[in-house]
Structure 1
């Protein structure tokens, strides 16, 4: 029997069950047919973040950023590149801390850009500052071991 992995759709927020051995087959949402592993990081707000943290069984890397932050803008394309390299092993999302200030307080965000790696809803690691795609990939792999 194949293990089923729970994934929240990044578009409609429906909870999906995907056979673990089918994650790399570009699965789509059973409700809205959107890709469960989009080509680029998807946007989150606090409610969506909570849903992903509660339901998802695939590690989630969130880039906490703001539109006025120059280093955040600089890291955006590199974060997207790392996303393409690591999918479907890790899902990548972005959260605008300017629009969702309560998240900044909740996660005690003191500087951006900040990436936080979550696994099964639990914070595994965080890193502040600009990183290139290779550094992001290496950092995620290092923190998911063990």
Structure 2
């Protein structure tokens, strides 16, 4: 399966397994098991979403948004449970207004789930860890 490195954004082809003890990027050698959400821009958004064979969870947020600030740590925490099962990414709608318009983001935070580069689910509003985990599990 194809996985985008969270450090250098190189596409890596790795065997699909239930769990991984080790998986490193062929380009930068960093761990593909890193789960810290990646900040995306209009320049790299399509590259990451199109080249990810795993589910991509996009958090559209802004730094001035109270519910976004509340959900940020939850998004990062839940991401740790899904190494090489789902890729968690963030889009700052204040800095990336073109992406916000492209995806018709009307309120934030908004989460969009992509599978095979196609939007399959959208949820607006802050989620607690249980609801976010349920959203991810439903769409793996």
Question: TM-score, normalization: structure 2?
Answer: 0.92
Equivalent of 1:36 in 32, 36, 51: 32
Equivalent of 1:114 in 107, 110, 116: 110
Count of aligned residue pairs for this structure pair: 140
Higher helix share: 1
Contact 2:35/2:87 (CA < 8 Å) preserved in 1?
Answer: no
Corresponding residue of 1:85: 81
Could you say what the CA RMSD is over the residues aligned between the two structures, in angstroms?
1.5
Unaligned runs of 5+ in 1: none
Please give the alpha-carbon distance, in whole angstroms, between the structure 1 residues aligned to 2:24 and 2:18.
Answer: 11
Question: TM-score, normalization: structure 1?
Answer: 0.89
Unaligned runs of 5+ in 2: none
Per the alignment, in what secondary structure is the counterpart of residue 104 of structure 1?
A: helix
The aligned runs of 1:68-79 (5 Å cut-off) are: 68-79=64-75
Contact 1:115/1:126 (CA < 8 Å) preserved in 2?
Answer: yes
